[in-house]
Amino acid sequence: MARRPPASYANPYVAGVALGLVLLSAFLVMGRGLGASGAFATSAAGVVSTIAPEQAAASGLFAKYLDDDGPWVDWLLFELTGVVIGGFLSAWFAGRWVWRVQGGRSLPAARRLSWAAGGGALMGLGAVLARGCTSGQALTGGALLSVGSWVFMIAAFAGGYLAMPVLRRLWR
């Protein structure tokens, strides 16, 4: 599916400045920063409220997303949709779009997918507790010097480094 030899990645510092300018433009235009996990929460609230409205209203987490214009009219949800589009366009034009399972070289695909699901669930839980993820807390809150965001950032790096010696075989 890749159309041309994949382009090499951008210099991380240059890419970082570009990312920082995108974040800054969000501050300047909207008065708020970026995010990702919030879109998951609002979607979950929307799905639950469609299937079992009483459950959604009873949940302290989902209830917040059910007021105003409802869970589907959510700034972050629209922003994350943009992320999907932007990611796709960049990958496509860089020749990096390829349908595959991308894990550790010696990890069978099925294992990779199981770990991705489980690890994803952990991140979902962590993001709910922390009121955000790397985009909303580390990046946005970090740039705005929020105390809790820096705590999250340091804790997340710590968590990753603690897990590494235990699970490094996943990436062999």
- Of 148-167, binders to other proteins (CB under 8 A) are 148-164, 167
To the nearest whole angstrom, how small is the minimum distance from the Cβ of residue 73 to other proteins? 7
Max CA distance (Å), the chain: 52
Contact of 101 with 113, CB cutoff 8 Å: yes
Applying CB under 8 A, which of residues 53, 86, 106, 108 lies at the interface with other proteins?
A: 86
Q: What is the per-residue binding string for other proteins in 91-130, x denoting contact by CB under 8 A?
A: x--x-xxxxxxxxx----x--xx-xxxxxxxxxxxxxxxx
Contact of 35 with 136, CB cutoff 8 Å: yes
Residue 83 lies near other proteins (rule: CB under 8 A): yes
Q: Cα–Cα distance between 48 and 83 in angstroms, integer?
A: 24
Q: Cα–Cα distance between 122 and 148 in angstroms, integer?
A: 20
Q: Residue 108 is encoded by which pair of tokens?
A: 């069978």
Site for other proteins in 13-72 (CB under 8 A): 13-34, 36-37, 39-41, 43-45, 47-48, 55, 59-62, 69
To the nearest whole angstrom, how small is the minimum distance from the Cβ of residue 60 to other proteins? 5
